[in-house]
């Protein structure tokens, strides 16, 4: 058994999580992103965590990669009729989970233990750990001023250019002991091919997190979310560009330079190998597109093969 700890956002993170979750030789802990969380209709919604929960419990809507399958929108229709804004799609079945979480939060339960209980009830074998129990929320500045992350991502469909990011509450937050232990006790740490700016950074920058990454003896391997300078889905390439980073695998290497020891890029980007080596990160090429379940399983296995081939594990 290899103890793998995966840092993950939503859709890209969940694909990687599923690959490791399928592997019988892996004991998987996923540290998810809570900085996309927000309140809708009085309910606390945690989109990235729920995407992972729905994926690993088989409830996910496979064609869109998020939300629940066989979903309805009757509750949302009522809210619309009552004059509420309904650009954030929350399905009828999905609402059940938000009601459960919100009620428990109101009773004073910690987000970590609520997530633990949902995972258990939904039959997950992998463990989901929150990086913090404190409230951290990504805010996005565009030409329209400061927006919440979901206003930018869902309502405005990532169209406005991102001029600045702010992780509200980050400096006052602290790492969850479970997250710290899963970093220090891991044999391998993987950064999923999630959005570096809004999925991975709000995890890594939680006070205490970098310290844990420095303490661990595990190699830290990132999978590039970009292939040939483009995302598979989402705004990561556009955001990197508008915030002054290179939007290619060299940009990813530079962005993660002080955190990761190993990087996995696509065969199409093999031309960057030499440039990346100057960052000191050991880089490998393979097919990093996870088209289907087999693709996820294969990529997770290839990462484990790299891990087992390392003579000095870091």
**Site string (275-314) toward ligand GDP, x via CB under 6 A:** -------------xxx------------------------
Distance between alpha carbon 91 and the CA centroid of its chain, in Å? 21
Comparing CB distances to ligand GDP, the nearer of 15 and 262 is 15
Comparing CB distances to ligand GDP, the nearer of 9 and 91 is 9
Comparing CB distances to ligand GDP, the nearer of 79 and 306 is 306
Site for ligand GDP in 216-255 (CB under 6 A): 223-225, 231-234, 236
Comparing CB distances to ligand GDP, the nearer of 217 and 273 is 273
Contact status, residue 146 vs residue 140, Cβ threshold 8 Å:
yes
Q: Is the dihedral of CA 66, 71, 75, 77 positive or negative?
A: positive
Instruction: Find the shortest distance in angstroms from Cβ 149 to Ca ion.
Output: 8
Cα-based distances in Å from 71 to 28, 67, 75, 131: 29, 8, 11, 29
* Residue 34, binding choice from Ca ion, ligand GDP, none, Cβ under 5 to 8 Å by partner class: none
Site for ligand GDP in 191-220 (CB under 6 A): 192-195, 199
Instruction: Find the shortest distance in angstroms from Cβ 310 to ligand GDP.
Output: 21
How does 112-148 read in b/e, with b if 16+ C-beta sit within 10 Å?
A: bebbbebbeeeebebbbbbbbbbebbbbbbbeeeebb
Instruction: Find the shortest distance in angstroms from Cβ 205 to ligand GDP.
Output: 15
Among 18, 38, 48, 178, which residue interacts with ligand GDP (rule: CB under 6 A)?
48
What's the chain's Rg over C-alpha atoms? 19
Site for Ca ion in 17-56 (CB under 5 A): 36, 48
Distance between alpha carbon 22 and the CA centroid of its chain, in Å? 18
Question: Can you tell me whether residue 215 is helix, strand or coil?
Answer: helix
* Cα–Cα nearest to 265, from 188, 193, 187: 193
Instruction: Find the shortest distance in angstroms from Cβ 14 to ligand GDP.
Output: 7
Which two three-digit tokens encode residue 210?
């970098």
Instruction: Find the shortest distance in angstroms from Cβ 291 to ligand GDP.
Output: 7
* Cα–Cα nearest to 240, from 232, 228, 252, 258: 252
Query: What residues make contact with ligand GDP under the rule CB under 6 A?
Result: 8-13, 15, 48, 192-195, 199, 223-225, 231-234, 236, 288-290
Query: What residues make contact with Ca ion under the rule CB under 5 A?
Result: 9-10, 36, 48
């Amino acid at each position: 058994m290899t103890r793998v700890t995966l840092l993950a956002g939503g859709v890209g993170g969940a694909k990687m999580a599923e690959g490791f979750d399928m592997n019988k030789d892996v004991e998987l802990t996923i540290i998810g992103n809570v900085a996309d969380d927000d309140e809708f209709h009085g309910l606390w919604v945690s989109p990235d965590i729920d995407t992972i929960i729905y994926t690993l419990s088989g409830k996910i809507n496979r064609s869109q990669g998020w939300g629940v399958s066989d979903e309805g929108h009757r509750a949302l229709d009522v809210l619309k009729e009552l004059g509420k804004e309904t650009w954030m799609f929350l399905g009828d079945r999905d609402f059940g989970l938000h009601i459960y979480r919100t009620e428990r939060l109101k009773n004073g339960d910690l987000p970590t233990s609520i997530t633990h209980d949902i995972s258990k009830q939904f039959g997950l074998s992998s463990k989901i750990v929150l990086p913090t129990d404190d409230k951290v929320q990504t805010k996005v500045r565009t030409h329209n001023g400061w927006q919440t992350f979901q206003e930018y991502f869902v309502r405005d469909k990532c169209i406005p250019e991102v001029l600045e990011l702010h992780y509200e509450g980050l400096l006052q937050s602290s790492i969850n002991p479970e997250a710290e232990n899963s970093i220090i006790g891991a044999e391998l740490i993987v950064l999923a091919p999630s959005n570096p700016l809004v999925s991975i950074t709000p995890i890594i920058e939680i006070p205490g997190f970098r310290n844990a990454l420095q303490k661990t003896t595990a190699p830290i391997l990132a999978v590039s979310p970009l292939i040939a300078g483009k995302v598979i889905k989402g705004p990561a390439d556009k955001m990197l560009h508008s915030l002054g980073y290179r939007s290619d695998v060299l940009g990813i290497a530079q962005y993660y330079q002080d955190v990761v020891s190993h990087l996995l890029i696509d065969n199409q980007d093999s031309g960057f190998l030499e440039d990346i080596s100057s960052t000191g990160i050991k880089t490998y090429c393979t097919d990093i597109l996870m088209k289907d379940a087999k693709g996820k399983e294969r990529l997770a296995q290839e990462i484990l093969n790299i891990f087992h081939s390392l003579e000095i594990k870091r």
